[in-house]
Amino acid sequence: MAGRLKGKVALVTAAGQGIGRAIAETFSAEGAKVIATDLDDGKLKGIKAVGRLSLDVRSNPAVQQLAKDVKRKFGALDVLANVAGYVHHGTVLECTEKDWDFSFDLNVKSMHRMIAAFLPDMLKKGKGSIVNMSSAASSIRGVPNRYVYGTTKAAVIGLTKAVAADFIKTGVRCNAICPGTIESPSFRDRVKAHAKRSGKSLKAAEQDFIDRQPMGRLGTAQEVALLAAYLASDESKFISGHTHLIDGGWAL
């Protein structure tokens, strides 16, 4: 269904690789005017976009300035996709205060900053879709060695529901996507880390991740992006405040 986002202005964070890049490219293919952002704007090369910008989502001044620039050039956003995040490995015993603060700042507070900056103009416009990247590892499922990550992604679900409830009658919707294990550069980093910790080969370490998947395979970033496109589109106008699992049955 090409053109399902035709004419919409969509901003995507962490668009340089993995799920974020797949979302930015899919939004563009569906006709959206995409503003692709990443901490490293060099990773944004090749994305068809009206803007490819460096953005530190942990910086409130940077987010506020971006909101002003976007409003001046494009008006209110139609779609805000909050994808930036980090996967910390370990239990409570391996989580320092610094780890806790960094994970919450990047995984949760960044979404607060982005929503607070862009929501007012969405409200004035009377419509919009906010898509937050959560995880199956959250309040949905407890996963070993994902202590602070799972906690932050549970917080994203709470944040999503709160925003949806507060603005349910305004035309602005807010939903969360909860992926399972997805093939991506960050996944490859986790495979390497698992191999190092376990003493296994990279192939064996990867197989450990695959073996826990009920479907017997990893998900793809494109599959997640197609769900994001649906939630961004007018096809999902009667959906707000929900978690949308895309996990190959992992949470069954």
Catalytic residues: 149
Name residues of the chain where pLDDT drops below 70. Answer: 1
Domains and CATH numbers, the chain: 9-181+220-246 (3.40.50.720), 184-218 (no CATH)
CA 16 vs CA 38, 149, 217: distances in Å? 6, 21, 24
What pTM was computed for the model?
0.94
- The vertex-108 CA angle with 104 and 109, nearest 5°, equals 85
Q: What is the pLDDT of residues 19-66, one digit of tens each?
A: 999 999 999 999 999 999 999 999 999 999 999 999 999 999 999 999
